[in-house]
A and B are shown apart, each in its own frame.
Chain A
Amino acid sequence: MLTNFAALEVGQHLYWQIGNIRLHGQVFLTSWILLGALLVFISLGTKKMENDPKGLQNLLEFLWDYIRDLARTQIGEKVYRDWMPFIGTLFLFVFVSNWGGALIPWRLIKLPSGELGAPTADINTTIALALLVSLSYFYAGLSNKGWRYFEYYVHPTPIMLPFKILEDFTKPLSLSFRLFGNILADELVVGVLVFLVPLILPIPVMFLGLFTSAIQALIFATLAAYYIGEAVEEHH
């Protein structure tokens, strides 16, 4: 029975060797397909922009508004414009990756090793995103407040210093592992259920997975915006 779990191929990768660096090919393949679809979708929607939005443009404007509200509430009125594209890209990338991984029957495509799935179910992707968020909030803080950014570490009292330093490590760690864990767990649960009971029973779990995927995208983008907002916030 347990040996059957091997059919899930957890931790198997499609390795690409370029020079002496090794890549997880399946992650790039799925991300290129999904991002390609996203870019096509966006190009179609923004091809003919009108003052009276119709069809796709409506949807894209709604999305834009949603991302703007997210960035504005977390980062603040002053600098949210600079960070809106980054927050929006994080949201769209994570959302498209999660939903693409959950909705498209990747299993039908056979790879020599590993299997296609959500790019966010690979630890490399989530760590990359989390590190970008870390770099962003450092950059945001330093570029907005200069060296005064480090006042944040002793605010409101210097006792906070070790905790705030620790936070710089826990932030990317929690960001990356939360996303990775949720998406991988969802894929595994659906995979196991499909394997054990191929009919009907996995469907509610699949819906739950779609729900989790959307929530995780929102959480990731909101937290990234919150960290940037925290870094640019002025203490008095």
Chain B
Amino acid sequence: MLAFNFFGATEGGLFDINATLPLMAIQVVALTYILNSLFFKPVGNVVEKREKFVSKNIIEAKNKLSEVKKLEADLLTQLQSARSEAQRIVSEAENESDKLYKEALELANNEANASKEKARLEIESQTSAARDQLSKQADDLSELIVNRLILKK
């Protein structure tokens, strides 16, 4: 017997609507509450707790990263300033030593010149003294010769 008893069925049929409908609705509503307390709430709590934990950690890591970057930049500027400072000190020291060297050289030169001059003056004075003496002796001698000659006459 064909059982496709579709419409207008008092007993059976595909579209036989009866108290199954409200009871099924009540069952689904009850299931909603049961699943809420058994599944959605506990799993939601765990998942959201973890999501918060993860996002908190990400934010912390980002903060730390930015801090590290800031410190790195700080260090870099410090390094650069230290480097330029060192360069400045080195060049200063070079200048200083150059200056000192020049001063010492000048001093030594001056001293050498002075002693040279002194020596020259001494030599000159001695030369002139010797010349004076020589000419004096020559005078004496000539005077002697003259006197002798005159006396012989």
Contact = CB atoms under 8 A, between A and B. Distances in A.
Contact of A46 (B1, B14, B43): B43
Contacts of B27: 28, 31, 35
Prevailing SS type, chain B contact patch: helix
B25 A64 contact: no
Nearest to B26: A128
A10 B4 contact: yes
B101 interface: no
Contacts of B21: 124-125, 127-128, 131
Prevailing SS type, chain A contact patch: helix
A2 interface: yes
Contact of A24 (B5, B6, B20, B34): B20
Nearest to A84: B40
A154 interface: no
A165 B20 CA distance: 27
A8 interface: yes
B22 to A, nearest CB: 7
A13 interface: yes
Interface residues of B, number: 40
A93 B31 contact: yes
A61 B25 contact: no
Output the residue of A11, A67, A131 with the most chain B CB within 10 A: A11
A23 B35 contact: no
B38 A42 contact: yes
B150 interface: no
A11 B43 contact: no
Contacts of B16: 11, 13, 24, 123-124
Interface string A181-214: 0001000000000000000000000000000000
B113 to A, nearest CB: 92
9 contacts: A6-B3, A11-B14, A27-B24, A42-B38, A61-B43, A88-B39, A92-B35, A93-B31, A128-B25
Interface of B: 1-6, 9, 12-25, 27-29, 31-32, 34-36, 38-40, 42-44, 46-47, 49-50, 53
